[in-house]
Every structure is written in structure tokens, then in C-alpha cells.
Amino acid sequence: MPMSSVTLYGIKNCDTVKKARKWLDDHSVPYTFHDFRVDGINKTLINDFLKQIDLETLINKRGTTWRKLSDAEKDIKNKTQVITLMIENPTIIKRPVLNVNKKISVGFSNEDYKSINFS
């Protein structure tokens, strides 16, 4: 039986990411952690996310990064603009982003993670 491919994207000091990592560890789910600050983020990765997640879900508008942006920066007119914004400000991406066998989900809750097929 092939192993599932699990990648958790986020920032290591983010509380929600910590909860997700603890959940995966507690449930013995092997995963790769991709830290946006350390490992970076690029257009291809963001486009992969956006194939399954809508823009409103992927952008964290409640975070300090979003609030610090100028009104001009928040006035997103197209996908290219938003991708550039995410590459320049990776903390604007809602975390964590979980990729299980190419199925993307955003955020963390016990219930959501329990419903994911990790095998």
C-alpha cells in the first residue's frame, strides 16, 4: 500500500499551525512541514492552492499582516495581484494549508482533521 503524501504549509510559530502539527503527531500521521518563511512560496504553489481553494478562503483578512496593508494593496483587482501580494507577504495566507494526496484544505479543527482520509 503506497504511503499517503501529506504536506502541512504554514509558519512554525503560528498557534494554529502548532495545533495542526500536534494533531498530526498525536495521530501518527507522517507529514512534511513547509514553512513559508524558511522554505518560501512561489506562484506555482499558490496556483495549486487556488485550484481547490477560493481566494477569500486563502487570504487571512483577520491577521495583522492584512490590517497593515495600505488600502491600495488591499484593492485587489486580479489573481496576478493577489499572488504577488502572497509571495511578498506569505503571512497573509490563512494557515495552516494541508495537502493530503493533492487535496487541499485550509485552517485547522479537530473535526475537520478527523474527517480527512490520511491513508
Alpha-carbon span 63 to 112, nearest angstrom: 22
Which residue bears the cell 477569500? 56
Question: Out of 8, 10, 14, 113, which one is annotated catalytic?
Answer: 14
List the pLDDT tens digit at each of the 119 positions of the chain. 345 799 999 999 999 999 999 999 999 999 999 999 999 999 999 999 999 999 889 999 998 999 999 999 888 888 899 899 999 999 999 999 999 999 999 999 999 999 999 98
What global pTM score does this model have? 0.92
Identify the burial level of 98 via C-beta atoms within 10 angstroms of its C-beta, where 0-12 means exposed, 13-18 middle and 19 or more buried: buried
Can 14 be counted among the known catalytic residues? yes
Burial class for 48, CB neighbours closer than 10 Å (0-12, 13-18, 19+): middle
Domains along the sequence of the chain with CATH: 6-114 (3.40.30.10)
